[in-house]
């Protein structure tokens, strides 16, 4: 079975696709039969096996159950989701997955806190085609998969500082925005999460056009990832990381305390509903 699951140099999506095909053929099923016995379209299943599509994790959970393969497909899916991100993000994602503490600043709603529908809206362009729709769905699935790190048994301690701008740029759909605000409110009360709002009153700051994440590993090492209009940059030089950490600390000092931030979010939710 090992040779069916992975090959050195093979992409995660390709490895997942090969394994899906192997399990189907081992079960003696055609794509048509599999489609008839599951809730999934034949062409959709074919694209998964060809490594051309990233599903939601729930699809892999269903197929693991169907084939009796434990959590094999889920584990391969977790590796495959990295293929939905550009190469420059992959090292950041690897470090993020093993981080014991994270300090995050964003101008908008952080990807780690976005609901599925809000993420889909953010990732969608003004015009879409069937091809771009499929690409968007892959990005949405990858973003939701990335959020699993907040729900692990040994989840990292995360501090989010979110600019007030994020709460003033609402979704075009009232229900999507309501659900998104409720989700942020709920996460703000999780034991391993601290959430602060940076109000407009704090004035201009050095991250006014970007975002910053500082990742702390179990061994005490740290890296920073800064993103702006010019793209993303992973920073691992200790002096540069320290400089960004101190800048983050200044933003934290200017942000509302967690209790006031929660009250702010609830106020935005009340305003939205009125």
Residue-range domains of the chain with CATH = 2-82 (1.10.260.40), 88-273 (3.30.870)
Strands of the sheet with 193-198, listed across from one edge: 193-198, 157-163, 101-106, 210-216, 222-228, 231-235
Q: Note the pLDDT of residue 5.
A: 38
Q: Note the pLDDT of residue 134.
A: 79
pLDDT higher than threshold 80 for residue 103: yes
Q: Note the pLDDT of residue 45.
A: 95
Of the candidates 171, 173, 174, the residue with the CA atom closest to the CA atom of residue 274: 174
pLDDT higher than threshold 90 for residue 54: no
Q: Note the pLDDT of residue 90.
A: 76
Average confidence score pLDDT of the chain: 88
pLDDT higher than threshold 70 for residue 263: yes
Of the candidates 115, 265, 258, 106, the residue with the CA atom closest to the CA atom of residue 185: 265
**Cα-Cα-Cα-Cα dihedral of 55, 60, 66, 70, to 10°?**
170
Of the candidates 248, 268, 246, 264, the residue with the CA atom closest to the CA atom of residue 256: 264
- pLDDT top residue among 216 and 274: 216
* pLDDT (tens digit per residue) in 12-47: 888 999 999 999 999 999 999 999 999 899 999 999
Q: Give 29's Cβ-side CA count (13 Å radius).
A: 20
């Amino acid at each position: 079975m090992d040779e069916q699951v992975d090959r050195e140099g093979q992409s995660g999506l390709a490895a997942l696709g090969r394994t899906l095909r192997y399990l189907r053929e081992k079960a003696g099923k055609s794509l048509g039969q599999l489609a008839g016995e599951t809730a999934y379209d034949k062409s959709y299943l074919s694209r998964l096996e060809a490594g051309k599509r990233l599903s939601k994790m729930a699809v892999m959970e269903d197929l693991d159950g169907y084939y009796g393969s434990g959590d094999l497909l889920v584990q391969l899916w977790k590796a495959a989701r990295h293929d939905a991100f550009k190469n420059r993000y992959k090292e950041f994602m690897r470090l993020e997955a093993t981080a014991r503490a994270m300090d995050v600043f964003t101008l908008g709603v952080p990807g780690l806190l976005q609901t599925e529908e809000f993420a889909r809206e953010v990732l969608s362009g003004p015009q879409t085609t069937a091809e771009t729709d499929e690409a968007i769905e892959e990005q949405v699935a990858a973003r939701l998969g990335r959020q699993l790190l907040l729900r692990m048994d040994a989840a990292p301690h995360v501090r989010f500082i979110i600019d007030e701008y994020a709460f003033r740029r609402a979704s075009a759909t009232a229900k999507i925005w309501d659900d998104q605000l409720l989700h942020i409110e709920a996460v703000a009360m999780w034991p391993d999460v601290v959430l602060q709002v940076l109000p407009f009153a704090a004035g201009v700051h050095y991250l006014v056009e970007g975002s910053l994440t500082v990742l702390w590993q179990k061994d005490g090492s740290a890296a920073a990832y800064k993103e702006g209009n010019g793209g993303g940059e992973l920073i691992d030089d200790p002096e540069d990381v320290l400089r960004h950490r101190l800048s983050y600390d200044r933003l934290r000092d200017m942000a509302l305390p967690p209790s006031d931030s929660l009250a702010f979010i609830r106020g935005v939710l009340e305003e939205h509903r009125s």
